[in-house]
Amino acid sequence: MNWIKIDNDSYGTILVSWCVCAVLIWLTARFIKSEWISIPLSAAFVIFMVFITWFFRVPNRTAPDARNDRLVTSVADGKVVIVDKVYEKEYLGRECIQISVYMDFFDVHCNFWPINGKVTYYKYHPGKYLLAFHPKSSELNEHASSCLANRHGEVFFKQIAGTFARRIVCYSEPGNMENRGDQCGVIKFGSRIDLFLPTDAEIRVSVGDKVKAVESIIAVLPE
C-alpha cells in the first residue's frame, strides 16, 4: 500500500489545524443541540482536516532524462501566467525570459529544483502579501530567490508568497550541488513561482498551459 508522503516542514501546520478543528467539533457538539446543524458542521471540519493534510502532500514523480543538464522542468504545479522577456535586476543583471507559474489551493505546493546544478545564490526577502497575480507581487511580496548554474547556463527563480501564503520554506544553500526533480522547498497556500531563463533558451510552454512540477519540461538550455 502506498501512503501519501507529507512535507516534513508542514507537520506543525497540520497539527495546529487539526487541534483547532477538534476544538471546534467539540464546541459544536457541546453547544449546538440541533443535529441538522451540528452534524454537517462537524463533517465540514473533518473534511477540512483531511484537505489540509492532503494539501501538503509530496508527489512521487520521476524527472525526464535525469542526466540531461539542458532540460529545465517546472518548479511547481500550476498554470503558466507569464512568458515574457524582462530585465532581471536582483542577481543576473541582464535580460531573461520570465516564466511564471501560479498555484491555486488544489495544486501541489512543494517545489522542486528545475535543473541539475550548483546553487550560486540565495536570498530571503520579507514583504507584503498581495494577490499572486498582481504585477508587483514578484518584487513587493515575501519571496525567496535562488539561482542554479551548470555548464549550459544559469536558472534563477523566486518562490513568491500570495495573499494567503504566510511562510516560504527553501532549502537553497550556496555551494550545494542539486539534482533536478529533488524537493527544494514549499510555499504554504496560494502562491507563485517566477523562473528566469537565458534569452537563447528554447521555451516549451505558453501562457495558459497547465504544468506539473518535475515532469513538465519548461525549456531547454542552449548547448
Separation in Å, CA 161 to CA 5, 56, 138: 23, 16, 9
Which listed CATH number (3.40.1130, 3.40.720, 2.70.70, 3.40.190) goes with 71-220?
A: 2.70.70
Asked whether the predicted pLDDT for residue 1 surpasses 50, the reply is: no
Rounded to the nearest 10 degrees, the angle between the axes of helix 11-31 and helix 35-55 is 180
Asked whether the predicted pLDDT for residue 190 surpasses 70, the reply is: no
Whether 181 and 61 have beta carbons less than 8 Å apart is answered as yes
Whether 205 and 216 have beta carbons less than 8 Å apart is answered as yes
Q: In one letter, which amino acid is 205?
A: V
Separation of alpha carbons 1 and 21, rounded Å: 28
Whether 110 and 213 have beta carbons less than 8 Å apart is answered as yes
Would you state the pLDDT for residue 171? Answer: 92
Burial 74-87 (b: 16+ CB within 10 A, else e): bbbbbbbbbbeeee
Whether 194 and 138 have beta carbons less than 8 Å apart is answered as yes
Kindly state the cell numbers that stand for 48. Answer: 477540512
As annotated, the active-site residues are 191
Residues of the chain with CATH 2.70.70: 71-220
Partnered with residue 203 across adjacent β-strands are 219
Asked whether the predicted pLDDT for residue 127 surpasses 70, the reply is: no
| Average pLDDT value for residue range 131-141 | 58
Asked whether the predicted pLDDT for residue 135 surpasses 60, the reply is: no
Asked whether the predicted pLDDT for residue 180 surpasses 90, the reply is: yes
Would you state the pLDDT for residue 163? Answer: 57
| Percentage, residues of the chain above pLDDT 70 | 89
Asked whether the predicted pLDDT for residue 134 surpasses 80, the reply is: no
Would you state the pLDDT for residue 156? Answer: 98
Q: What's this model's pTM, rounded to 2 decimal places?
A: 0.85
Confidence of residue 133 (pLDDT cuts 50, 70, 90): low
Asked whether the predicted pLDDT for residue 144 surpasses 60, the reply is: yes
Q: Which helix (H) or strand (E) holds 53?
A: helix 35-55
Neighbours of 168 (CB within 10 A): 21
| Average pLDDT value for residue range 59-86 | 93
Q: Which residue has the higher pLDDT, 7 or 94?
A: 94
Confidence of residue 192 (pLDDT cuts 50, 70, 90): confident
